[in-house]
Structure 1
Amino acid sequence: TCCATIWHSKGYDAGDAVMANRVVEAAWGWTAGGRLPLVVDASSCTLGIAREVVPYLTPDNRELHAELLVVDSLVWAAEELLPHLTVERTLGSAVLHPTCSMRHLGDEAHLRAVAEACADEVVVPDDAGCCAFAGDRGMLHRELTESATRQEAAFVTSRDFDAHLSANRMCEVGMDHATGRDYYSVLLALEHATRPGAGRADRSP
């Protein structure tokens, strides 16, 4: 079920209202009436379900939404998984791309915490900012991302990193385009770092 963010970001209010109410009603069932946390895989979708849907909800669904605990997967991994995992191998270095949604949600520290479990050196470029991919705009207008990330990309490509990490697939695609490097989710890096049976030399997820 769509989180409604794509409708919200394009200003399609009627579609936004339909999807906002639909996802909250579905989430009420998924979470057994709010008893289970709803862990959301992409930070932009977390922001959408946790905050952006609220103005578009019916009064009844707004009451349901108030009972939901919406948790970004980064926060869940940092707070619920890390304390119970054993790191088997680490990367030498990783560069991070915090997304706009992570900043709105206040999740940047969780991104760093998960990355620091996976890599000996973790770097956030000083000029890291919005990648301007904007859901699908970067697919159609690559120059938007190239312009928005010019300084960040210059830093990323100025040296070698063992991993290029974020936690939102479309932003990762945008950074792939901007830097020519392969960005992937820090959660994949965590899975690999804690996977039994592989040696340190095996550094790819």
Structure 2
Amino acid sequence: MANRIVEAAWGWTAGGALPLVVDASSCTLGIAEEVVPHLSEDNRELHQELTVVDSLVWAADELLPELRVVERTGSAVVHPTCSMRHLDDVAQLRALAAACADEVVVPDDARCCAFAGDRGMLHKELTDSATAKEATEVGGRPYDVYLSANRMCEIGMERATGHPYRSALVELERATRPPSR
């Protein structure tokens, strides 16, 4: 599968001429780094020519400067995912949230939610244990929006906190949408 992904990405990016923008940080990490040991020698060469970019990074660096925010919210709490931390993309998550909200909070106890794809659905106790401190911190006050950037982590955090988490990209779209008439 690693080889198939790289071969497909090679086509999608016009032979590496365009960046491959990936919409979930865990998938970005997988394609950018974790597939490499499993590639054929030829596909390793193709992979070296690819520019794999997390959608948060693309939005913060390329899209945000061109957008006009028309409706900010008061406060946002963000959950940086494990992959975002590994890719060093937490600053971009904060930047997107800051474009949409007057106050951005990253909980001191924000750690891995342990949802891990389907693990959190099958073993609720993993996420309950991993998120206990962060959930307590988040529950200490209300926020206008609860943001992250990976749907499975958002589900895990929703279950842990009882609040509806959504993608920072969805919030950015809402904040930049012109008012309807």
TM-score interval for Structure 1 and Structure 2 normalised by the shorter chain: over 0.9
Q: Take 2:63 and 2:109, find their aligned partners in 1: how far apart are those partners?
A: 30
Which residue of structure 1 lines up, in the alignment, with residue 121 of structure 2?
139
Asked if residue 47 in structure 1 is aligned to residue 29 in structure 2, the reply is: yes
Which residue of structure 2 lines up, in the alignment, with residue 188 of structure 1?
170
Give the match's secondary structure for 1:149. Answer: helix
Amino acid in the other structure paired with 2:132: R
Q: Take 2:30 and 2:126, find their aligned partners in 1: how far apart are those partners?
A: 23
Mapping 1:108-187, distance limit 5 Å? 108-187=90-169
Give the match's secondary structure for 1:133. Answer: coil
Query: How many residue pairs end up in the alignment?
Result: 181
Higher relative contact order (CA 8 A, sep 6+): 2
Aligned residue among 24, 44, 47 for 1:62? 44
Could you tell me the TM-score, scaled by structure 2's length?
0.98
Aligned residue among 44, 48, 70 for 1:88? 70
Q: Take 1:177 and 1:170, find their aligned partners in 2: how far apart are those partners?
A: 11
Deviation at 1:134, TM superposition (A): 1.1
Q: Tell me, which stretches of 5 or more residues in structure 2 are unaligned? A: none
Which residue of structure 1 lines up, in the alignment, with residue 16 of structure 2?
34
Give the match's secondary structure for 1:95. Answer: strand
Q: Take 2:89 and 2:10, find their aligned partners in 1: how far apart are those partners?
A: 24
Asked if residue 73 in structure 1 is aligned to residue 18 in structure 2, the reply is: no
Q: Using the aligned pairs only, state the percent identity.
A: 74
Q: Take 2:154 and 2:14, find their aligned partners in 1: how far apart are those partners?
A: 33
Q: Take 2:46 and 2:88, find their aligned partners in 1: how far apart are those partners?
A: 24
Q: Tell me, which stretches of 5 or more residues in structure 1 are unaligned? A: 1-18, 200-205
Give the match's secondary structure for 2:99. Answer: helix
Tell me which stretches of 4 or more aligned residues in structure 1 moved more than 6 Å.
none
Deviation at 1:198, TM superposition (A): 5.1
Q: Take 1:119 and 1:100, find their aligned partners in 2: how far apart are those partners?
A: 23
Q: Take 1:179 and 1:144, find their aligned partners in 2: how far apart are those partners?
A: 14
Deviations 1:145-189 (A, max 9, x none): 011110100011111100000000000000011111100000000
Contact preservation (8 Å) 1:39, 1:76 = yes
